[in-house]
């Protein structure tokens, strides 16, 4: 994927919205393609950036996405808790 290549060439430091959005896009793509195991750590990376940037709206959206990964991965209780946190 082109997005994977672009992310490999850039770093997460300093935390910036464009990087978090790119990671988020890749994670969502992987999740909806059925690879929740690869998607979850990427979503958690994006969530860390949004928390560092103190962007409450993006934190909530990140938590929602993580909840979907958990739900699609069969982790219903974890998903419910994550959705509630969003």
Q: pLDDT tens string for the chain (86 positions)?
A: 666 766 666 666 676 788 899 899 999 999 889 898 899 999 999 999 999 999 999 999 999 999 988 988 889 999 999 999 98
Residue 20 to residue 55: CA distance in whole angstroms: 11
Residue 30 to residue 80: CA distance in whole angstroms: 21
* Cα 2 off chain centre by: 18
Per the confidence metrics, is the pTM higher than 0.85? no
The answer to the question of residue 15 being in a domain is no
The answer to the question of residue 5 being in a domain is no
The answer to the question of residue 64 being in a domain is yes
The answer to the question of residue 14 being in a domain is no
The answer to the question of residue 59 being in a domain is yes
- Is residue 69 within 8 A of residue 30, CB to CB? The reply is no
Domain range for 79 is 21-85
Q: Please state the domain count of the chain.
A: 1
Dihedral over Cα of 32, 37, 39, 43: its sign: positive
Dihedral over Cα of 11, 12, 17, 19: its sign: positive
């Amino acid at each position: 994927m082109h997005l994977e290549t672009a992310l490999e060439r850039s770093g997460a430091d300093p935390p910036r919205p464009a990087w978090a959005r790119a990671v988020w896009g890749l994670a969502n793509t992987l999740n909806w393609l059925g690879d929740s195991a690869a998607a979850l750590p990427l979503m958690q990376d994006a969530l860390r950036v949004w928390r560092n940037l103190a962007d409450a709206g993006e934190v909530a959206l990140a938590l929602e996405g993580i909840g979907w990964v958990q739900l699609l991965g069969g982790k219903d209780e974890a998903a419910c808790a994550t959705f509630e946190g969003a």
